[in-house]
Structure 1
Amino acid sequence: MKNVRKYAVIGTGAIGGFYGAKLQRSGIEVHFLLHRDYEYVKQHGLVIESADGNFTLPQVNAYNDVNKIPACDVVLVTLKTTDNFLLPKLLPNLVKDDGVVLVLQNGLNLEPYVADIVGDHRVMGGLCFICSNKIDNGHIHHLDYGQITLGDYAKNYRACGITERMKAIAEDLEKAEISIQLSSDLLLSRWKKLVWNIPFNGLSVVLRTTTDEIMSNFYTRNLAENLMREVVSIASVNQRYISSEFVEKMLIDTEKMKPYSPSMKLDYEAKRPLEIEAIFGNPLKVAQQGSIKAPRIEMIYQQLQFLDHFSH
């Protein structure tokens, strides 16, 4: 990829707003697609309250019409997966012919959907290990962490190794002071992220609690660990194998984390649709294909469906 890249952010929320703002602050041209707070951000810019240091961007390239955004080299997809039905209208004219769509969303089997829109060769995935919330119009509060794991995509999630375009995009992100890890196997990285997302997004909603309370109680900590081990079992259906040491590291990292309400809990409290299918439903389909039993994940999936049905 060429040395000077132009970025677009689809979904300027807790994730897209934070990473996009850091990219712009580093001198990279960034274009932000917004919805509810377009007028506010157009006039006042973005405020980032961050554990890494607060900063404000008084002016940003803000749009509420994707057709007004110039074609970009890298398009960050940071929408909620419940809005992915919009992508066939948003992506085709936004990404350059030699550009890439970087999917920074939670869940499984997201890249194949995007590949059907723009082609396998123009898709990359990213897993964000970050505690960040959008607390007001144009105001993002970053509490902790922030690393992105980048992985290139090929049809059927064939492992791609470390590609040159991954290195190029990683260079831009690192210039923006974003910690990057390069993954040779995107599907393995997605399963590893689900090891955290399934227990803590699910339990925070069902139990109406936060990560610190889950980890400080013997019973819920044990439940979180057992949910993690069910995810590990399902991943083996895709021939992706996750060690017990990784599970233990996730538990330790969560114990060290500042008290945090995961994104699904915030969505539930705000009466927004929950990302149930991407995070729970798609992994359970893989479990069914491999005749793997995941009773705890199935129970939380069913509880979330009930809560989601009556919340909005």
Structure 2
Amino acid sequence: MTNRNYAIIGTGALGGFYGAKLQKAGLEVNFLLRSDYQTVKKQGLIIESPEGDFTLPQVRAYNDARQMPQCDVVIVALKTTQNHLLSKILPVLLKDNGVVLVLQNGLNAEPQIAQIVGAERVIGGLCFLCSYKIGAGHVSHLDYGTITLGEYAQDYKAIGITDRLHQIAEDFQRAEIPIEMSEDLLLSRWKKLVWNIPYNGLSVILNARTDELMGNPDTLILVEEIMAEVIAAAKSCDRIIPDNFIPNMLEYTHKMKPYRTSMKIDYDESRPLEVEAIFGNPIRVAEKAGVKLPQIEVLYRMLKFVDVQRQEAERKRRLLDLS
């Protein structure tokens, strides 16, 4: 049995689900919370899942990273819009020989975190998970759940699969979390963006679930065209995604239960959108290599507009509540 302990930064639909599964399997997991802290401290975590519902009546819940034990593996499950908080959190949470596992969407989160803890202490993770929060400390898992793990090295150099990757994978597999391991983290990030860019962006702009986007012939064409742009962007980084990847992603989404994407949920809940991580960073990387992404750029500009509009409306609503 492992003696590695874990910290979860961001106990939401993703961090709450995976952290609860790890604790249920007997691992020590420490949860950093903010708005959900009091509720989770009293009632624990509730997970609804087709794999079996369960409740953890007691969890190691904290609202201050400085009060938490140092951990072997610190899992970053925050939205990338909150990464500015990590420079104060990670140094106090990470053991001297510990690693940070970045379970975030988009591109270039690992280099940002490497500036805080060093590139040699960063692992990337890509989650294929359909889940959402029902309420404080209450997560509904709808479908899927596989995590792809890959070592990060400076400039996303591919360094293969290491012993520590195997060790962390064993902990997750013990928790019945499906794991794949990648020899090339950057390639895996681009593959994830093939799905994330069209479905997250279009779900917000068109106010649609995944099944609605798949069920309309016009939006289906648009999804495929945007996917092709992502593959072109990956090629600009010398990462080749095979021709059959797009039909495989479409089939994967056809089989998925009707789902509001994470960005659509954030928009509906008036939370900031991960526009830069998922759209802006890939556009800038491709542009640096001389590759234009016209349809993705249109999505990016529209999302920036609706994000500003929604955040301004939310700011005014809060001011009215205070008046």
Q: TM-score, normalised by structure 1?
A: 0.99
Report what 1:167 is aligned to: 166
Seq. identity, % = 60
- Tell me if structure 1 keeps the 8 A contact 2:204–2:263: yes
1:135 matched to 2:134? The reply is yes
The alpha-carbon deviation at position 86 of structure 1 amounts to 0.2
1:109 matched to 2:97? The reply is no
Q: What CA deviation, in whole Å up to 9, does each residue of 1:220-275 have, x standing for no partner? A: 01100110000000111111110121111111000000000000000001110000
Report what 1:240 is aligned to: 239
1:104 corresponds to which letter in structure 2?
A: L
The alpha-carbon deviation at position 3 of structure 1 amounts to 3.5
Report what 1:289 is aligned to: 288
2:70 corresponds to which letter in structure 1?
A: A
Q: Which runs of 5+ in 2 are unaligned?
A: 312-323
Q: What CA deviation, in whole Å up to 9, does each residue of 1:45-80 have, x standing for no partner? A: 000001211000000000000001100000000000
Distance 1:154 1:270 in 2: 35
Distance 1:40 1:118 in 2: 31
The alpha-carbon deviation at position 4 of structure 1 amounts to 1.3
Distance 2:303 2:279 in 1: 9
2:12 corresponds to which letter in structure 1?
A: G
Q: What CA deviation, in whole Å up to 9, does each residue of 1:167-225 have, x standing for no partner? A: 00000000000000000000000000000000000000000000000001111011001
Q: What CA deviation, in whole Å up to 9, does each residue of 1:12-70 have, x standing for no partner? A: 00100000000000000000000111000000000000121100000000000000110
1:101 corresponds to which letter in structure 2?
A: V
Name the SS for the 2:91 alignment partner.
Answer: coil
Distance 1:10 1:233 in 2: 33
Report what 1:79 is aligned to: 78
Name the SS for the 1:79 alignment partner.
Answer: coil
290-299 or 192-201: bigger deviation? 290-299
1:136 corresponds to which letter in structure 2?
A: G
Distance 1:157 1:288 in 2: 18
Report what 1:16 is aligned to: 15
1:236 corresponds to which letter in structure 2?
A: K
2:202 corresponds to which letter in structure 1?
A: L
The alpha-carbon deviation at position 293 of structure 1 amounts to 2.0
Report what 1:158 is aligned to: 157
Report what 2:319 is aligned to: none
The alpha-carbon deviation at position 291 of structure 1 amounts to 1.7
Report what 2:206 is aligned to: 207
Name the SS for the 1:150 alignment partner.
Answer: strand
Name the SS for the 1:258 alignment partner.
Answer: coil
The size of the alignment, in residue pairs, is 311
Q: TM-score, normalised by structure 2?
A: 0.95
